[in-house]
Structure 1
Amino acid sequence: MAAPHSPHSLVPHRLRVLAGHEAFAGSLLILVAALAIALANSPLAHGYHALFHAPLPWTPIAKLGTLHLWINDALMAVFFFVVGLEVKREIVAGQLADARQRRLPVLAAFAGMAIPAAVYAGLAGGDPVLIHGWAIPAATDIAFALGVLALVGPRVPAPLRLFLLTVAIVDDIGAVLIIAVFFTGSLKLGWLVIALCLLAVMLALGRARVSHAGPYALAALAMWYCVLHSGMHATIAGVVAALAIPMAGPKPALLERLEHALSGWNTYLIVPLFGFANAGVALAGIGLVGLLSPLPLAIACGLVIGKQMGIFVAIWVADRIGFARRPAGASWAQIWGVAILCGIGFTMSLFIAALAFPDYPLLVEEAKLGILGGSLVSAVLGYAVLRFAPAPQANAR
């Protein structure tokens, strides 16, 4: 029997994992988000916020003085590390390794980031403070989107499921680049130089065919500490470290072993804990006017309208001009449903919102409303379209 992560079985294995676990993972995120909102609007609200934002009595790293900072800057670095492992695997031996196969998902992901940002800017761009949130609706939450897709069942053809996974991976790459380029403060070159030296050490370990995880883990942890103090967001270290993990050597490769070992922790602990710590928003006194204020409205419209418009139009144009064929066996209605699901922006959108408005906590709360509302509408509408979409006709183009 082939190893579960051998290069020739990466995609089928990934699809089997999604079919078995993504529905539960998506349901878990919905549960923690609902619990966070319930606590933030209950008599326990003060305790909920104090749990994450009150100064810790002791911390080994001065820059991480609250539990919220430990989750967002430390645990989320592990999340980004797993994202980086998945990205490298797809580039080396997956759907992004073949130029012909990556044309459509790369084009769709780019349009699915640019159009939501444009929709957001059109609605909120007149405010010099709000314009900093332009990237919030550009991200897709892979666990939520694939979780909803799993609830639809086998009605959605496997190539379309794989297309959604690949678009979400390219989307993650774009989100990481946005964080690195647009949400980096003044750099402290000394710390950055040390981080680059540690990256060189990791690359040298790979060239020397070191296949034990220990040396890489120590170098990656030290690099994260340096990046934390460098002015760049610490989570960038997770992605960069992952790209230095080798896929060559004995099978399964170290990259595959690490991804397999960490993906469960990522899905069932880190992301739900991040959601629980960040999704709680107080709804008292908001009303319809608050929901329709420029920031939440711009985010929700970017997710619900911008995402589906960008991705669906990109696929339609690419198919019509012969640049790339649409996913095999999928009707246009099914493709539209998947494009709508890409408007679920929970994890990465919440993360970018905190980076976009670090000095405006009230704006972060408003952003949460837009993210949760837009993601909920995208999830329900996408599920409904996919549930009732007709199968493609045999001769349909």
Structure 2
Amino acid sequence: MKATQLYKDFFNSKKSGGLVLITFTLISLFFANSSFGDFYIHSWETKIGGLSFEHWINDGLMTVFFLLIGLELEREIYKGELSHVKDALPPIFSAFGGMVFPAAIYLLFNLGTITQAGSGIPTATDIAFALGILSLLGNRVPTSLKVFLTALAVIDDLGAIIIIAVFYTKTLLWSNLLIALGIFVLLLVLNRLKVNNLIPYLVGGIVMWYFMLHSGVHATITGVLLAFAIPFGDGSKKSTSYLLQHFLHKPVAFIIMPIFALANTAIVINSDFSTVISQNYSLGIALGLIIGKPVGIFATLFIAVKLKLCSLPNEINWKSILGVGFLAGIGFTMSIFITLLAFEDKATIANSKFIILISSLIAGVIGYFILKYSLKEANEEL
């Protein structure tokens, strides 16, 4: 598997961004549980232009995050791991199992209850954290494993986008939605006319975001639509898509994601941990991320390989797949994001965020040690 320069830039920004995310999460938790915790938590509710800081971050800044996700997904489809069926099938099968199993586990505990809407929470993978943990293993990690995890996480993000669009859209205002989609079609026409100047797309994207925000569909979907409207061309370093994707890597990794972490991990840690973990939604999230993710990824790919629907990528063994499965159990950003859409009760949201943090930590640590052992074993065999 060939690693392009853009992929290397992407991997480096994501692994560094994961470490920055950890730092800012710890800072936010510290402030939230300090003597001025109330001030810190309520400061995110300060309103500007009718929306709170937190709202601007989750609906505004995160649209830029989704724009980058869309650009990465587009590149994977046209020139990356998803452009060849043979290479795409292993991460596709793995991602499918990694979404279905956690959702099933969650519903096992919550079906028919007021918290069943949270079934999408444990299906997500935080690519920045996952690659950040993988990077701690250094040069022992084969490129094929890095690419597999990246492709898996990108497909996972696509799944999360579909889940958000289909299951977390409550009330549709058709007039605004049709205007937003009309702007999207107009941008596609500009693409077909080979208009490569980025300004019309960005202006159109902002207007599309405004109408999408007031349509009932989550505004961040605008980022993905805009990504596929921006000209990809031949995918070279001079293409509009490449230039924008390259530009967005560091702002997203080192500005947008840390701000998201600060705003959404301002959690007061409940001293009665036993009560929090015993909640049905807590069990669904924890078991979904820690067990559902790795089992779903491993089992689905194992069955696909045994049925000869695909084969394991080069330099990757089953122990490494299991390790990657646990790393995929690091939900964090997308899991927290879906939590905000799934629940309205503040206590449920806060507890869910806390469980996501704890579960992601456990999954990440297990994944790290499995990979450390399996990669050491593989290197000794060489």
Aligned CA distance change for structure 1 residues 238 and 353 (closer, same or farther; 3 Å)? same
Match of residue 304 from structure 2: 318
Q: Would you say 1:49 and 2:57 are equivalent positions? A: no
State whether residues 211 and 249 of structure 1, in contact with CA within 8 Å, keep that contact through their aligned partners in structure 2. no
State whether residues 270 and 276 of structure 2, in contact with CA within 8 Å, keep that contact through their aligned partners in structure 1. no
The 2-side partners of 1:355 and 1:327 are apart by: 36
Aligned to 2:137, the other structure's residue is in SS state helix
Offset of 1:258 from its aligned partner?
Answer: 0.6
State whether residues 40 and 282 of structure 1, in contact with CA within 8 Å, keep that contact through their aligned partners in structure 2. yes
Offset of 1:344 from its aligned partner?
Answer: 0.3
Aligned CA distance change for structure 1 residues 205 and 84 (closer, same or farther; 3 Å)? same
Match of residue 113 from structure 1: 99
Match of residue 142 from structure 2: 157
Match of residue 155 from structure 2: 170
Offset of 1:394 from its aligned partner?
Answer: 11
Q: What letter corresponds to residue 157 of structure 2 in structure 1?
A: D
> Which of 64, 74, 79 is the aligned partner of 1:88?
74
Q: Which shifted more, 200-209 or 111-120?
A: 200-209
What percent of counterpart residues are identical? 37
State whether residues 180 and 211 of structure 2, in contact with CA within 8 Å, keep that contact through their aligned partners in structure 1. yes
Q: What letter corresponds to residue 98 of structure 1 in structure 2?
A: H
Aligned pairs (5 A) from 1:337-376: 337-357=323-343, 359-376=344-361
Q: Which shifted more, 299-308 or 328-337?
A: 328-337
Offset of 1:212 from its aligned partner?
Answer: 1.0
Offset of 1:20 from its aligned partner?
Answer: 3.6
> Which of 359, 366, 377 is the aligned partner of 1:381?
366
Match of residue 67 from structure 1: 53
Query: Which structure 2 segments of 5+ residues have no match?
Result: none
Aligned pairs (5 A) from 1:1-397: 11-17=3-9, 20-56=12-48, 59=49, 62=50, 65-127=51-113, 129-248=114-233, 251=236, 252-357=238-343, 359-389=344-374, 390-392=376-378
State whether residues 330 and 392 of structure 1, in contact with CA within 8 Å, keep that contact through their aligned partners in structure 2. no
Q: Which shifted more, 221-230 or 186-195?
A: 186-195
Query: Which structure 1 segments of 5+ residues have no match?
Result: 1-7
State whether residues 303 and 378 of structure 1, in contact with CA within 8 Å, keep that contact through their aligned partners in structure 2. yes
Q: Over aligned residues, Cα RMSD in angstroms?
A: 2.0
Aligned to 1:134, the other structure's residue is in SS state helix
Offset of 1:16 from its aligned partner?
Answer: 2.6
Offset of 1:320 from its aligned partner?
Answer: 1.9
The 2-side partners of 1:362 and 1:278 are apart by: 13
The 1-side partners of 2:356 and 2:42 are apart by: 23
The 2-side partners of 1:368 and 1:106 are apart by: 28
State whether residues 25 and 262 of structure 2, in contact with CA within 8 Å, keep that contact through their aligned partners in structure 1. yes
Aligned to 1:135, the other structure's residue is in SS state helix
Runs of at least 4 residues off by over 6 Å? 393-396
Q: What letter corresponds to residue 155 of structure 1 in structure 2?
A: R
Aligned CA distance change for structure 1 residues 22 and 248 (closer, same or farther; 3 Å)? closer
The 2-side partners of 1:250 and 1:377 are apart by: 38
State whether residues 291 and 369 of structure 1, in contact with CA within 8 Å, keep that contact through their aligned partners in structure 2. no
Q: What letter corresponds to residue 23 of structure 1 in structure 2?
A: K
- Deviation string, structure 1 residues 107-162 (Cα, Å, up to 9, x no partner): 110110000001111123252x1101000000000000000000011222211111
The 2-side partners of 1:286 and 1:45 are apart by: 18
Aligned to 2:151, the other structure's residue is in SS state helix
- Deviation string, structure 1 residues 57-80 (Cα, Å, up to 9, x no partner): xx2xx3xx2100000011001111
Q: How many residues align?
A: 380
Offset of 1:203 from its aligned partner?
Answer: 0.8
Q: Which shifted more, 174-183 or 93-102?
A: 93-102
The 2-side partners of 1:173 and 1:75 are apart by: 18
TM-score, structure 2 as length reference: 0.95
Offset of 1:285 from its aligned partner?
Answer: 3.3
State whether residues 116 and 302 of structure 1, in contact with CA within 8 Å, keep that contact through their aligned partners in structure 2. yes
The 1-side partners of 2:123 and 2:146 are apart by: 20
The 2-side partners of 1:233 and 1:144 are apart by: 24
Aligned to 2:329, the other structure's residue is in SS state coil
Offset of 1:14 from its aligned partner?
Answer: 4.3
Match of residue 4 from structure 1: none
Offset of 1:249 from its aligned partner?
Answer: 6.1
The 1-side partners of 2:218 and 2:183 are apart by: 17
Q: What letter corresponds to residue 172 of structure 1 in structure 2?
A: D
State whether residues 87 and 313 of structure 2, in contact with CA within 8 Å, keep that contact through their aligned partners in structure 1. no
